[in-house]
Amino acid sequence: MSVKYIPVQWNRNKWIYDAVMLIGVILFLYLFLFVSPEILSHENPINPQIHNARAFGACAFIMLTVILCIGPLARIDRRFLPLLYNRRHFGVMTLFVAITHASYILNWYFAFSSSNKFEALLFANTSYGQLAGFPFEVFGVFALFCLALLAVTSHDFWMKFLTPPVWKRLHSLVYFAYVSVVAHVSFGILLDQQNHVFTVIFVGGALSVAGLHAYAAWLEYKAGDDIGSNQGGWVDICDASEFRDGFAKIKILPSGERVAVFNQGGNLSAISNACAHQNGPLGEGRVIDCLVTCPWHGFQYDVTNGRSPAPFTEKIPTYNLRLDGTRVLVDPVANSPGTYVEPVPLPDVVTKEVLV
């Protein structure tokens, strides 16, 4: 959270995250290049360019696999949320590793032609009509383009400028990039792999990503947020006795937006469930001293007015609430971001049980 943009918003946690990531990359490359070449089909002599290209290519695949696992893992178990915190740096570093892989390939396999090496890459193999011998390079080029697009639009400015939903849609390209990388490896090195240690790592990694995403989607389908029922133009959230102090109930409104109704010391306040930063699920956060913290990246908002504490300037919409007996109802028409709404006290009959 910053008032003015700066190139990179470093903090202690990000330094630690990036340091662990960098050490992991160096360790992987060291193992691949120097410690165990024989288990990775390098018993046949290959030159350093090819060896390096394979090392960086394998590293980029592993990194992208880990990145794609973080999202569903955080959905399945909240203890993985810290991994989500700095995932954009992970993505940018993956791009650098992938570019290094591509550079070794270009400067070896395509560098000794009389043609421009980039042109040579595009026309060296054009057997698009056959599966065996398919020009797998094109999958790599596409994946690299996607990773580059994601990395160059990863600054917070882009999220605010494009709006979080559009930014998220653009960054959904990571799924296409991953499938493309799987195709790049499958129709490339896998067709010639003689020692199957890497084959097992590759297939295991790809199926882990596939399985985790499918499982997370199934969980969301089974235990996802409910659609609030309409009660004369207001949306029924739940009975007042169902609230826990400091936590929220989330409902989907007729417009498709999610509202998060918080109980803060016996007073109810309703805000948008979507964080202004990346549309993270605010309703899964906890209110402490009137502020709810987004579980994704730690942005904070006052639940009574939807504003981040000064000097920060983020704002989210708020909603009007009313009680009908012990039922809590919300007006589905959102107030403009940052609008103060007087909290609604819980009915006396339920206050005692909720605050116990």
Partner 1 sequence: MNEAELILFAAKIWCGIGALVAVVFLTFGIDRIDEDADGAYVFRPLLVPGVLLIWPMVLWRWYILADGKDEWSHRYRPKRHNHVWFALLMPVAIVIIIGAAFSVRQTWPGDIAPEPLSAPAEVSE
Residues in region 246-285 near partner 1 by CB under 8 A: 255-257, 272, 274, 276, 279
State which residue, 42 or 160, has the beta carbon closest to partner 1: 160
Residue 302 C-beta: closest distance to partner 1, Å: 16
**Residue 114 touching partner 1 (CB under 8 A):** yes
42 DSSP assignment: -
Q: Number of helices and strands (H, E) in the chain?
A: 11, 13
- The CA-atom distances, in angstroms, between 295 and each of 104, 240, 244, 258, 281 are 40, 24, 18, 16, 7
Nearer to partner 1, 292 or 346 (CB): 292
CB 190 → partner 1: shortest distance, Å? 5
Rounded Cα distance between 246 and 72, Å, is: 26
Binding mask 323-342 for partner 1 (x = CB under 8 A): -----------x-xx-----
- The answer to whether residue 216 forms part of the interface with partner 1 (CB under 8 A) is yes
- Asked if residue 269 lies in contact with residue 304, where contact means CB atoms within 8 angstroms, the answer is yes
- In terms of Cα–Cα distance, which of 305, 339, 306, 345 is closest to 322? 345
Residue with tokens 């120097």: 34
User: Judged by CB under 8 A, does residue 291 bind partner 1?
Assistant: no
Q: Interface residues for partner 1 in 119-138 (CB under 8 A)?
A: 119-125, 127, 130-133
Residue 243 DSSP one-character state: P
**Strand ranges in 218-347 using DSSP code E only, listed in sequence order:** 226-227, 229-231, 234-239, 248-252, 258-264, 267-272, 287-288, 291-293, 300-302, 318-319, 321-324, 327-330, 344-345
Among 99, 210, 291, 354, binds partner 1 (CB under 8 A): 210
Q: How far is the CB of 348 from partner 1 (least distance, A)?
A: 33
Is 355 among the residues that bind partner 1 (CB under 8 A)? Answer: no
Q: Which of 21, 28, 81, 164 binds partner 1 (CB under 8 A)?
A: 164
Interface residues for partner 1 in 47-86 (CB under 8 A)?
72
Contact set for partner 1, span 177-206 (CB under 8 A): 178-179, 182-183, 186-187, 190-191, 194, 203, 206
Q: Rounded distance, CA 244 to CA 354, Å?
A: 6
Report the nearest approach of partner 1 to the CB of residue 289 (Å): 24
Closest distance between partner 1 and the C-beta of residue 68, in Å? 9
Pull the structure tokens for residue 185.
Answer: 């490896």
* Least distance between partner 1 and beta carbon 342 (Å): 21
Closest distance to partner 1 from the beta carbon of 191 (Å)? 5
Q: Return the structure tokens found at 356.
A: 């116990």
**Does 168 help bind partner 1 (rule: CB under 8 A)?**
yes
**Residue 229 to residue 225: CA distance in whole angstroms:** 13
Q: Please report how many Cα atoms fall inside a 13 Å half-sphere around the Cα of residue 144, on the Cβ side.
A: 16
User: Could you say which of 10, 15, 30, 157 contacts partner 1 (CB under 8 A)?
Assistant: 157
User: What residues between 80 and 99 interact with partner 1 by CB under 8 A?
Assistant: none
**How many residues line the site for partner 1 (CB under 8 A)?**
76
Contact 308, 1 (CB under 8 A): yes
